[in-house]
Structure 1
């Protein structure tokens, strides 16, 4: 779906055509899932997050202005939602630990294997070493291919400042990957660039 079709669907949703929101979901569900999965690190949490983000987007669609792309607006909602999820998860682990002294994990075996396989990937491990805002920037810049002008609107920072922040985040990723891999595998590192 191109930008014009998406903008037309948004106008129709704002005018009351609820069915057009399904068109928006179809166009944005997969990239939004990939983003949330990179931010949260678990398949089920990412699926839940995508549903919540679409729900929030539908509730707030009247606040959307075409000054930024709809996808950028949606990613901003997703970022804040994922950030809140990460904070809640951290708080939940602390509370569980204080109550029982032991961390609890509640995943089905299949999901756990998929998550462990994915999370053991050196690139993902390096991303997890970044702060949530650095990870957000790297994912939006590399995976979602957002340009610095669009990112500057999302982050409310100048493009040059974001470029420097991105370079520092990449340097952290490369450093971690070199440490984990012993400095021998340059192919995985070049995938980050």
Structure 2
């Protein structure tokens, strides 16, 4: 009897996967419920940032839904989802490292150009307190002056998602959750 109870979640997951593969996406929330906690935890361990892990987990399940037709049951479904999660998080880490390199280069260039500018260090400190995605959105919007549509295309996000995240960044800075943010409020256009 215990065996039946232990096998039930696996059977439920298998049936949900089969339903979604046959076109019944109403079964997909069951897949999410079954795997969400573990995928989120895995993302957190890799990314070491709660908000980034939550965003990554959401993106992973979207990828999973889009690619579910590619799943062939030679390995467990959860292993297939973990592979998607692993690849997604590694890509995010690589982007984060590129962003750090860009920031480091920016810091060196700005230090040379703006030796007399007292705000340079404060701007750099501001950026360092934001997560990778927040930095990218802020830099693309405030410095490069891209539209939300353009930023969405660059970052593979919906424009509405970019707009919402940008507003959160603005509030975070303006409310001084990030030290020194009040003086930059005028630079953070909507």
Q: Which has the higher contact order (CA 8 A, sep 6+)?
A: 1
In the alignment, structure 2 segments of 5+ residues that lack a partner are 1-7, 109-123, 132-190
Q: Aligned pair 1:17/2:46, yes or no?
A: no
1: CA distance, partners of 2:128 / 2:73: 42
Q: Which residue, 42, 47, 50 being the options, matches 1:43?
A: 50
Q: Aligned pair 1:78/2:85, yes or no?
A: yes
In the alignment, structure 1 segments of 5+ residues that lack a partner are 109-193
Written as runs of structure 1 = structure 2, the 5 A alignment for 1:122-137 is none
1: CA distance, partners of 2:46 / 2:75: 22
Q: Which residue, 3, 20, 24 being the options, matches 2:10?
A: 3
2: CA distance, partners of 1:106 / 1:52: 23
2: CA distance, partners of 1:19 / 1:26: 13
Partner of 1:100: 107
2: CA distance, partners of 1:74 / 1:105: 32
- Over 2 Å off, 4+ runs: 100-108
Written as runs of structure 1 = structure 2, the 5 A alignment for 1:54-69 is 54-69=61-76
2: CA distance, partners of 1:12 / 1:56: 17
TM-score normalised by structure 2 residue count? 0.54
Aligned residues: 108
TM-score normalised by structure 1 residue count? 0.53
Partner of 1:32: 39
The two structures, once aligned, show a CA RMSD in angstroms of: 1.6
Output one character per residue of 1:140-182: Cα deviation in whole Å (capped at 9) or x when no partner. xxxxxxxxxxxxxxxxxxxxxxxxxxxxxxxxxxxxxxxxxxx
1: CA distance, partners of 2:18 / 2:50: 32
Once the two structures are TM-superposed, the CA of residue 105 in structure 1 deviates from its matched residue by: 2.4
Partner of 2:59: 52
Once the two structures are TM-superposed, the CA of residue 100 in structure 1 deviates from its matched residue by: 2.4
